[in-house]
């Protein structure tokens, strides 16, 4: 495979991953602290924990996507769409 990577393209992915992950962790933390500082209700507790799990799943998904992008760049393909 021809190497088309010249060292660029990964910095933007890292910055976006850090921003999205930080936003998801901050939103999860704020939601949990805000909810559990009051008198929580049982049904709402389950809903809040479900939404918190979704936020954390988004953060993990973004980190996995960064790892896959890193593998693509290491493999020599900077832009996957250039193949087509």
DSSP secondary-structure letter at 78? S
Whether 5 is covered by a domain: the verdict is no
Whether 39 is covered by a domain: the verdict is yes
Tokens of 27: 């939103």
The Cα 47–Cα 67 span in angstroms is 31
The stretches of the chain forming alpha helices (DSSP H) are 10-36, 42-75
Whether 42 is covered by a domain: the verdict is yes
The Cα 1–Cα 48 span in angstroms is 48
Per the structure, the count of domains in the chain is 1
Residue 63 structural domain: 10-79
How high is the pLDDT of residue 1?
47
Whether 20 is covered by a domain: the verdict is yes
> For the segment 18-77, what is each residue's pLDDT rounded down to a tens digit?
999 999 999 999 999 988 888 888 888 999 999 999 999 999 999 999 998 888 878 776
Report CA 64 to chain centroid distance, whole Å. Answer: 7
Whether 1 is covered by a domain: the verdict is no
The Cα 36–Cα 45 span in angstroms is 9
Q: What is the pTM of this model?
A: 0.73
């Amino acid at each position: 495979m021809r190497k088309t990577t010249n060292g660029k393209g990964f910095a933007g992915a890292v910055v976006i991953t850090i921003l999205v992950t930080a936003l998801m962790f901050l939103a999860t933390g704020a939601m949990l602290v805000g909810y559990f500082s009051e008198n929580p209700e049982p049904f709402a507790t389950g809903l809040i924990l479900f939404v918190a799990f979704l936020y954390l799943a988004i953060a993990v998904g973004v980190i996995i996507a960064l790892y896959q992008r890193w593998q693509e760049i290491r493999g020599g393909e900077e832009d996957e769409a250039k193949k087509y």
